[in-house]
Amino acid sequence: MKATVKAHTNIALIKYWGKRDEALFLPTNNSLSVTLDKFYTITTVEFLPALQADEFYFNGELAEEKELMKISAFLDRVRANAKKPMYACVKSQNHVPTAAGFASSASGYAALAAASAKAIGLQLTDRELSQLARQGSGSASRSIFGGYVEWEKGSNADGSDCYAQQILDKDAWDLRILSVEVTTKAKKVLSREGMKRTVQTSPFFAGWLEAVEQDLIAIKEAINERDFTKLGQVVEANALKMHATTLGANPPFMYWQSATVEVMQEVQALREKGVEAYFTIDAGPNVKIVCRPEEEQVIHESLETLPVVQQIHHCRIGPGITYL
Ligand code: DP6
């Protein structure tokens, strides 16, 4: 009745931005990510008949009530699925620098889904685990798998055809991701709230949905052809389009800060000098840079000179979930 799982974070190259069903976490568009080797969550779940309620320890400390409630709501799905009304003790260790702007919810819910399913005795395929993890946080569906991963939006109302799957093994194409932490000022609009507001109010959202279809076709061609220039151009343009939708929302909002723009401009300046680097940005001010191994060092050296850059983390493409 006990299981421990390690799951890694991922970064979307084609963004998940918008839900067609909020309760089931069904997205409006397919997204595509790479799983990262550096940042992960390790979670142990133990179902115990003696417990009167769920318990949740995060990084060695008893978690706040609000966090416990989210975990309990997720475990309710697992219990219902297994038809075993038993409470659990959940212990989670996060090796994700939250300030780096990586969604720890992706690795967190991927690890929780796999550990809780195994601990309660459910035998789920990785595809089914991605559907379960999705219901904690959409991007978690992609963290079940390693390498290059696509999350299919599906069209069924019950989400039965909405799942993630690996499209290329991590060792098949060695790209590097630099996570550039910048100095921050503003409080962030959570991705969940941001995407909801955008879907409901932004006139640019329809344009996003149209464009993302083309971006997906182009990036899959780039991946098949191992065409880095093509991949980088699509990645950067897709992120810019996602962020453009937020400017049209009501009330409008923006994830970038001046430091974000400085890093974006430095990446563009590097390209003008012949160094191929491309950026992508999630629902926060930090910037992730996609590059080839041979250019990783020169990109690092150039970004280091910017006063707004606090830290640069180097990532490779990582594996899917592992049972410890
Ligand atoms: C901008 O997966 O955090 O990082 O499903 O509401 O939990 P919820 O959202 P979440 O959103 C991630 C949005 C993004 C793009 C992406 O990872 O694809």
pLDDT in tens, 12-50: 999 999 999 999 999 999 999 999 999 999 999 999 999
Q: What digits encode the pLDDT tens for the residues 71-106?
A: 999 999 999 999 999 999 999 999 987 666 666 899
* Ligand 1 in reach of 12 Cβ (< 6 A): yes
How far is 83 from 44, CA to CA, in rounded Å? 20
- Would the pLDDT of 310 be above 70? yes
pLDDT at 316 over 70: yes
Evaluate if residue 185 carries a pLDDT over 80. no
Per-residue pLDDT, 99: 60
User: How confident is residue 299, by pLDDT bands cut at 50, 70 and 90?
Assistant: very high
Cα 299 to averaged position of ligand 1 atoms, centre (Å): 27
CB neighbours of residue 65 within 10 Å: 8
Residue 35 and residue 122 in contact, taking contact as beta carbons nearer than 8 Å: no
* Ligand 1 site, residue 29, Cβ cutoff 6 A: no
Whose tokens are 């790479």? That residue is 34
> What is residue 101's predicted lDDT score, i.e. its pLDDT?
64
Quote the pLDDT of residue 97. Answer: 78
Reply yes or no on whether the pLDDT at 184 is more than 90: no
Using alpha carbons only, give the angle 258, 260, 11 rounded to the nearest 5 degrees: 160
pLDDT at 112 over 70: yes
d(CA 277, ligand 1 centre) in Å: 23
Q: What is the pLDDT of residue 75?
A: 98
Please report where in the chains the tokens 């690795």 appear, as a residue: 107
Mean pLDDT of the chain: 96
- Model pLDDT for residues 208-223, shown as the tens digit of each residue: 999 999 999 999 999 9
Contact present, 149 and 32 (Cβ < 8 Å): yes
In short, whether 246's Cβ falls inside 6 Å of ligand 1 is: no
pLDDT digits (tens, 9 = 90+) for 258-270: 999 999 999 999 9
pLDDT of residue 100: 61
Q: Is 282 in the pocket of ligand 1 (CB under 6 A)?
A: yes
Q: What is the 3-state secondary structure (H, E, C) of the chain?
A: CEEEEEEEEEEEEECCCCEEECCCCEECCCEEEEEEEEEEEEEEEEECCCCCCCEEEECCEECCHHHHHHHHHHHHHHHHHHCCCCCEEEEEEEECCHHHCCCHHHHHHHHHHHHHHHHHCCCCCHHHHHHHHHCCCHHHHHHHCCCEEEECCCCCCCCCCCCEEEEECHHHCCCEEEEEEECCCCCCCCHHHHHHHHHHHCCCHHHHHHHHHHHHHHHHHHHHHCCHHHHHHHHHHHHHHHHHHHHCCCCCCCCCCHHHHHHHHHHHHHHHCCCCEEEECCCCCCEEEEECHHHHHHHHHHHHCCCCEEEEEEEEECCCCEEC
CA-closest residue to ligand 1 atom 4: 282
